[in-house]
Each structure stands twice: as C-alpha cells, then as structure tokens.
Structure 1
Amino acid sequence: MAFDGIRQRLGAIIGGFDAAQSHRRLRGFRASRAHVNTLIAGAGETITARARWLARNNGYASGAVEAFASNVVGDGIKPSSSIANAAQKEALQKLWLAWTDEADAEGLTDFYGLQRRAARELFLAGEVFLRLRPRRPEDGLSVPLQLQMLPSEMLPMDLNRELPGGGTIRQGIEFDRIGRRVAYHLLRRHPGDMTDPGLVGETVRVSANDIIHVLDPVEAGQLRGVSRFAPAIVKLFTLDLYDDAELERKKTAAMFAMFITSPAPETPLEPVEEDLEVEPGQVVRLDPGEDVSTPATPDSGATYEPFQYRTLLQIAAALGIPYPYLTGDAARGNFSNTRVALLDFRRRVSAIQHSVIVHQLCRPVWQRWLDLAVLSGAIDLPGYDRDRRSFQAVSWLPTRWDWVDPMKDASAEILQIEAGLKSRSQAISERGYDAEQVDREIAAERKREAALGLDFRRPGSPAQGPKGEAAGDGTDASDGKDDDDDPAADPDADDPDDDDDDAKPKEDR
C-alpha cells in the first residue's frame, strides 16, 4: 500500500498520461490489476450462467448467438484432402462424408452440426470441450470414432493444486513441469443437472490427447474462456427491465376506460353491482351533475426509439454482431454503410473460423479420424506410416457468404476468372466445395446430357466453345451440323409459297 501511494504521488508529479491520474474525473475508476485467470476464476461461472439465462429469455441475446453460429459455421466448414492421387482422394472424401453422419456420440446431429453447437457454446460460455471417443469394431461405424460434446461447466473452475514431480492442476487443467497440458479433470455429471443420478463433485482424469478444448483467449496466459456476453450483460438486462417497465405502464394505463365523477359528496352515487361496459356507438345517459372523463394514456415519448437504437448499437458493438443481425432491423442505414459493417464482421468471422474452429477443432478431429481409418482398415493408404504428414494435408473450406444481389457478385467473379485474376479452383473453394469433385460432377453431367441429346448450357457462356462446342470435347453442342447448310434448320427454306422477308425489296423489310 505504501508503495502504491509513492507511485501515485510520483505519477502526479511527473504527469504525462492523463489516463493514469487520480483527479476528479477518474477518482472512481479503480481498475483491477489481477490476472485474467484470477478474474475468470472468481466471476466466470456467474457470467456464463447469466449469458445462458439471457439466451433463453432475451430475444436480442438469442438472435446474437444464432447470428454468430450461422456465420462462423453455416452449413459446415468442410475438408478437401490434398492427396495427389485422385482415386485415393475420392475414396477418402467419400469415407469422411459417410462418417460425418456418425460423428455425434449422442446421435443428435452430424459433424457439421457439432461445429455449429461448438460455435454457440464458444459465444455463450467462451469455451467448449469435445472428447474423442474411440469405438469397438462391433459398433458398426465406418470409422471407429465419435465425438462427445461437454459444456464448460463440466471442468471445475476451483480445482487447483500442486502435484508430485512438479506438475500442477489449474482450473481443472493438469500441466506438467514445463507447462504442457497433459490431462483434464472433468466432472462425471453436470453440477446443475438434477436429473443425473451421478455423484456430485466426482471427477475423472482424461488425457489431453482425448480432449479438444475450443476457446478464443483474449489475453496472454489465459487458461479458460470467458463469455462474449461479458461486456454486454449489464446493458442487455437493464434494457430488458426498461422495456418491461414501459409495457407495464402502457398495460396499466389501458385498463382504465373512463372515470365517473359524482356531483357532490352529499349525494354519492349508489354502488352498482357491475362495472359499466362501453361498446362502440353506445349512448350513455348520466344523472344530472355527473361527469365522465377518460384517462390520458401516457405515451413512451419521442426519446424512446432513439434511446433504444443507441443502446442496441452499444450492445451490438460489445457482442461484435452487426446491428441488423442483432435486431433484425434492416431499415436503418443505407446499402454502403451496411456493406462496410458486414465486411468488418466477416473479417472477424474469418479469423475465428481459421484460428479457432479449424485450428482447434477440425484439425485434431481430422488427424485422429484418419489415423483410425487407416488402422481399422476402413481405407488403404500405402506408405501412410512413412509419410503421415503429407497424407493428412487438408484444406478446410467455410461456407461462402452471398450478398443481397448475387447476380452482381457472380458477374464480378466471372470477370475475375476471365481476366486471370482468380482461378476456377479458388472460386469453387471459396464457395465451400472441392474443385476436383465439382469438375468430375460437371464432366459426368455433360456426358449424360450428350447421351440424351440435351444441353442446358446458356448460349455464349464460357462452358461453350465456338458455335456451341463444349469446351474441351471438340463436339457440337447441338447435332454436329452447320445450320447455314442444313435445310431443316429453316422450315420455310423449300416452301415456294413462303412470303419470306428475304424475298422482299430491302426498303420494304
């Protein structure tokens, strides 16, 4: 304390940074110097509980969670193997697609549904755990592996102790003497689930090789995640209370239809057995001296909507969600402003996709899945044990974002491809598809169309060569004949009675 006092006096004498002074404006600004792990240990569980409550009961909070998950994952972040052998790659992709339907240990969704649930938990609690569960051959899976999702509450925040040999357990995570994660001490049952008959507080040690811990740390040395609702909880909850108060005020005011005033206290009105009901067009007769008045229903005022808008802007900024996504209000702002906001949001989402979802979730799942696929004999990859890294090389393709006007977006992309600024493979991968697979599907469709005498290509498209020839196949897209030399191409060519324009004088055409 004495040292702090000396430091403050020294800062007051030296000056320089107004933000470090203790004058009148900053007298109540007492920032904690505790490390983020200490802060999360003390407040993380409360923040997560409040975030979950808001997501269940507040429309804006629920919309923010869904907007984040749908933009980060969408239809799924899908792998495209980099194996050079086309046959091996096709077999591998087919095996992966079959396994994605079996990935969830609970059987409620597929692998891409697990990605979406992980994104929701990342937004709500700041972290989520997935346990890699190897299965027996008799379970009948295409690859003997499933994933079990565990919420953040399953890892006790208050489990901290030293271990023999120099290891430690910090916030439920076990570290070795050089700081590597070696295990997670997970609860056997959720601490808030009263329907689970398991023992409360009992933990089990699970190797770190079998646990995927997905989090987006915001500070160096951070061990556990913190909810993205943390900077917005106060305003969200307070705004909810304000809206409720406004609704109750209007509801109370609407309960009173009219007031009847007696002429004098000496001649009070006799009490009536029933309240007077007012109907449209009704004529009400009053006794001499009686007066009827209607209450002035209070309005919310001209400041209600601007206040709501500014508060929701602050909440959107705190959550990192664009205002239209948070509120569903697309009327405010012009197209340019909205586009700038969406571009910034998509850059943030792209960073989360690659640095969190792909790096922490997708990569370890792919590596473990491919190991088990080879070991179980589900796929034959000769030389896998000698060159494991090259076989595991993969690109992860997020779902492509579309603008409001996809026609303009597609036209711009075609121009970039034709100008050599972008390859077709790049354009296809940006849409979340594998270019080689798309090319194989297109080739199969062209072959089937040719066999049936069909051609669905748009005239003049890059897919057609000169005179309708298919690019690369050297055959005419119609019937292989030149219409200029074919009498059948002009049904009136041999008709002597045809009054064709070609027979008329030029000035009469």
Structure 2
Amino acid sequence: MSNAVGTGIKPQSKAKNAEFRKAVQALWLRWSDEADSHGVNDFYGLQASICRSMIEGGECFVRFRVRRSEEGLSVPLQLQVLESEHLDTSVNRILITGNMVRNGIEFNKLGQREAYYLFREHPGEKLLVSNGESVRIPASEVLHIYKPLRPGQIRGEPWLSRVLLKLYELDQYDDAELVRKKTAAMFAGFITRLDPEANMMGEGAANEQGMALAGLEPGTMQLLEPGEDVKFSNPSDVGANYEAFMRQQLRAIAVGMGITYEQLTGDLTNVNYSSIRAGLIEFRRRCATLQHHVIVFQFCRPVWNRWIELALLSGALPSQDKDTSIKDVKWIPQGFDWVDPLKDQQAQQMAVRNGFKSRAEVVSELGYDTEEIDQEIAADNNRADEAGFVLDSDPRHTTPPKKRGF
C-alpha cells in the first residue's frame, strides 16, 4: 500500500487555458481535505483505504454523495468508501425488464452494470438502524474497485486467498515450536530418589512453611533431603533446519503474494545492491500496473470527471463552454527512492541530454508537478536576484555566454 499509493496519486490538470488550470489546482487542493464523507481522511487517505480494502477483501465500493450548497463545501461532492460486505450477495434473480442480478450486481442485456444492491449499514454491526434490507443504487453513483484477473470477473479476489492456508499452517508450526521450546526450558532439573520406597505415599517434600518444593524458578537452589540426587535436563533445540524451513515457506508465500521475500519479512541479510535492485524493479512494475489500471482508472478518473462537472455547475469554477479539454488530467504517483540516488540522478540527466526523455517526464517520475516546479524555480531565482545572491544552481550564472561573431 505504501508503495502503490504512498502520500497519494495527485492530479495535474491538462486544460489548455492556463488560468483555468491554476483555478482547478487551487480548488482541488481545498476540496481534497473535504472529500471523505466520514471526515476521517483526505482524498489521498481514501486512496490508501481503498488499496487496503482490496488487499484484505479483494474489492471495495465508493459511493458518490452529492451535497447541498448550504453545507459549505468548496465543491458539493463527497465520497463514501464501503467495504465489500455492504454488497447484498443474496440478491440473485431475473427482473421483468430483462436485467439480471448476480451476487447483488444488476446487469442489463448488454452485460453492462445497471445498479448495486447495498446494505445501508455494515451487516457485521451489532446495532442496525435499518431492517437489514439492501437498497438499489444506480451504477452511475457507485464505483466498484477491484483487480480483475480474468475476463468476465464481476467480484474481486482477496489478495491473500492463495496463501492464506499456508500462512495459517506456518503460524501453527511456529507456535508449536515455540511451545516445545518453552516447555523444555521449564524443566530445570529432575529429582531422583535413591530409595524408591522413601515417601512413596507422601505428598512430596515441603519447606518449613509447609509449601511443596515441586516448582522451580530461574536461579533458585533447593536443599535436598538425604538420599536424593539431582539430574539436570538437556532440552532439545528447535533444530538446525528451523530457520531454513521458515525461510523457504516465507519465500513461497511471498511468491503467492507477488512480492519479494525481503519485502514480506524485512530480512535483508542475504541481499546485495544488484539483487535488491532487481527485486525492486519487478515489484515497482507491479505497483505501476496497480496504480494505472486500478486506482487511477477505476477510482481517480471517474471522481475527477464528476468533480469537474459539479464544480462547473456550482459555480466554483468559471464556465468553459467551448473548451473540450477541461477534464484532461494527468495523475502523478509518488516517486520511488532508489538505493543509490546519485547514479539514478546521473542516469536521468544523461537521458534528458541525449533526448531519450523530456525534463517534464523526469519530474513526473519523481512525483512532482512540472508547472509547480517551474514556478518555484522562477520564484527562487527572483528572490536570489533581489538579494544579490549568486547560486551555482542557477544556470544563468554558471553557463558561459556565447561568443558573438562579427
């Protein structure tokens, strides 16, 4: 989740009108703090909550909540994130309209989603205000977010379902080893009587207060009666294969989850620069797929379109009748940090100089908005000029002037 979402996948308006772009970015910045209908997260916190719900339950739902203007929101729209249990999977029937309801999802004759049957409250809540009946919500008001693994899949699959049984069995094995080790360590020693008939029917030796000497504490020395001998136990260890077995099982679990062993366990004992970099490249490619195919396409894109429409209708944004680019946007995920940032910066610099990449693309890969970076650099240069500073980061002072010909 921290790699797929991080601090948030943020929008950069691509509208042609520069003033409109500036107004959109400023309005979005204010609204992102108001996005959650529960008031717990901002818009980027909702992204993290959605990603977490997909990992746990395989899917989640987001319902558009259009608000009244008197509620004082910058844009009259909020989002309600619902867990997968809100879907009433008991609804399965063919309607008189010809639509078919499967697992609480209504499809029309073309196979398109028409509606969702959702519970008002989570069915696991102890106190239910409603009678437990589901409500039909048009599909235009609900976002169903999940990672499809095959064509025609209508529900999401929990990401841990493939390794859940192995995780359970491995946990049981680890607990058994812990109990065996703990039980063996409890027996510090055994008292062997040299006279078998001594105190056969008794309740065992006791101290002056009449307390039995059966229990031992760490570091305690007990005086023995004449004719008694002590033998200390030699508890068996968990075995030399325990660590290797656990590592192998955790590697199999990591493969099933689509991550590396090091990311699952945090164990970096046997890695080097090349191996961890290779693993990170593959993992981050998976994260990029999740970002663009699921989070951006299924969640961010429809939210942005609805938000622009309501912002224009409510007057929060100036009308742009003839501009067809008002909804154009680029979503920028948080950039990834590398093990050796110096080499990566040098590689990016060479790619730009050789014409393989644009500067804007490099800035976007780092998770920043190109226009904001340019504005900040220009502001920094202006402040430096006013203060009389000469910074080596300013190419105007470090690049030699071109020689003019006669």
Q: TM-score, normalised by structure 2?
A: 0.92
The aligned residue for residue 129 of structure 1 is: 61
Work out which of the residue numbers 167, 172, 197 in structure 2 matches 1:236.
167
The aligned residue for residue 404 of structure 2 is: none
Q: Distance in 2 between matches of 1:293 and 1:141?
A: 78
The aligned residue for residue 118 of structure 2 is: 186
The aligned residue for residue 46 of structure 2 is: 114
- Tell me: CA distance 1:259–1:410, structure 2 relative to 1, closer, same or farther (3 Å): same
The aligned residue for residue 215 of structure 1 is: 146
Shift of 1:330: 1.2
The aligned residue for residue 329 of structure 1 is: 267
- State the SS of the aligned residue for 2:62: strand
| Higher radius of gyration, 1 or 2 | 1
Matched, 1:72 2:1: no
Shift of 1:284: 5.8
Matched, 1:428 2:363: yes
Q: Distance in 2 between matches of 1:340 and 1:173?
A: 41
Q: Output one character per residue of 1:148-192: Cα deviation in whole Å (capped at 9) or x when no partner.
A: 000001002231100012111111111122221111111122111
The answer as to whether partners of 1:88 and 1:381 remain within 8 angstroms in 2 is: no
- AA paired with 1:401? F
Work out which of the residue numbers 231, 237, 242 in structure 2 matches 1:299.
237
- AA paired with 2:145? V
- Tell me: CA distance 1:387–1:174, structure 2 relative to 1, closer, same or farther (3 Å): farther
The number of aligned residues is 394
Q: Distance in 2 between matches of 1:232 and 1:254?
A: 33
- State the SS of the aligned residue for 1:396: strand
Work out which of the residue numbers 289, 293, 306 in structure 2 matches 1:355.
293
Higher helix share: 1
- Tell me: CA distance 1:292–1:79, structure 2 relative to 1, closer, same or farther (3 Å): same
The aligned residue for residue 30 of structure 1 is: none
The answer as to whether partners of 2:5 and 2:334 remain within 8 angstroms in 1 is: yes
The answer as to whether partners of 2:119 and 2:134 remain within 8 angstroms in 1 is: yes
Q: Distance in 2 between matches of 1:361 and 1:76?
A: 13
Structure 1 unaligned spans of 5+: 1-68, 472-509
Matched, 1:253 2:184: yes
The answer as to whether partners of 2:320 and 2:326 remain within 8 angstroms in 1 is: no
The answer as to whether partners of 1:159 and 1:170 remain within 8 angstroms in 2 is: yes
Shift of 1:250: 1.4
- Tell me: CA distance 1:391–1:278, structure 2 relative to 1, closer, same or farther (3 Å): closer
- Tell me: CA distance 1:381–1:429, structure 2 relative to 1, closer, same or farther (3 Å): farther
Considering Cα pairs closer than 8 Å and 6+ residues apart, tell me whether 1 or 2 has the greater RCO. Answer: 2
Root-mean-square deviation (Å): 2.0
Q: Distance in 2 between matches of 1:125 and 1:246?
A: 31
The aligned residue for residue 353 of structure 2 is: 418
Q: Distance in 1 between matches of 2:82 and 2:162?
A: 25
Q: Distance in 1 between matches of 2:160 and 2:212?
A: 52
- Tell me: CA distance 1:103–1:293, structure 2 relative to 1, closer, same or farther (3 Å): same
Q: Output one character per residue of 1:200-259: Cα deviation in whole Å (capped at 9) or x when no partner.
A: 2x0111111110110111111111111011110010000011111111111212222221
The aligned residue for residue 170 of structure 1 is: 102
Q: Which 10-residue stretch deviates more, 205-214 or 285-294?
A: 285-294
- AA paired with 2:381? R
- State the SS of the aligned residue for 2:2: helix
Shift of 1:387: 4.3
The answer as to whether partners of 1:188 and 1:199 remain within 8 angstroms in 2 is: no
- Tell me: CA distance 1:374–1:259, structure 2 relative to 1, closer, same or farther (3 Å): same
The aligned residue for residue 271 of structure 1 is: 205
Q: Output one character per residue of 1:369-388: Cα deviation in whole Å (capped at 9) or x when no partner.
A: 000000000010321xx444
- Tell me: CA distance 1:227–1:466, structure 2 relative to 1, closer, same or farther (3 Å): same
Work out which of the residue numbers 78, 82, 98 in structure 2 matches 1:150.
82
Q: Distance in 1 between matches of 2:109 and 2:358?
A: 49
Q: Which 10-residue stretch deviates more, 100-109 or 412-421?
A: 412-421
- Tell me: CA distance 1:140–1:304, structure 2 relative to 1, closer, same or farther (3 Å): same
Q: After the TM superposition, which residues 14-33 of structure 1 pair with which residues of structure 2 at under 5 Å, given as runs? A: none
Work out which of the residue numbers 366, 381, 400 in structure 1 matches 2:335.
400
- State the SS of the aligned residue for 1:214: strand
- AA paired with 2:106? E
Matched, 1:447 2:388: no
The answer as to whether partners of 1:165 and 1:177 remain within 8 angstroms in 2 is: no
Q: Output one character per residue of 1:266-312: Cα deviation in whole Å (capped at 9) or x when no partner.
A: 223852124375675x8765444321112211211011011100100
Shift of 1:466: 5.1
- AA paired with 2:382? K
The aligned residue for residue 205 of structure 1 is: 136
Query: After TM superposition, where is structure 1 displaced by more than 6 Å over at least 4 residues in a row?
Result: none
The aligned residue for residue 368 of structure 1 is: 306
- State the SS of the aligned residue for 2:97: helix
The aligned residue for residue 502 of structure 1 is: none
- Percent identity among equivalent residues? 46
- AA paired with 1:447? N
Q: Distance in 2 between matches of 1:365 and 1:379?
A: 16
The aligned residue for residue 224 of structure 1 is: 155
Q: Distance in 1 between matches of 2:152 and 2:107?
A: 13
- AA paired with 2:205? P
The aligned residue for residue 488 of structure 1 is: none
Q: Distance in 2 between matches of 1:74 and 1:227?
A: 21
The answer as to whether partners of 2:143 and 2:298 remain within 8 angstroms in 1 is: yes
The answer as to whether partners of 1:158 and 1:171 remain within 8 angstroms in 2 is: yes
Q: Which 10-residue stretch deviates more, 264-273 or 107-116?
A: 264-273
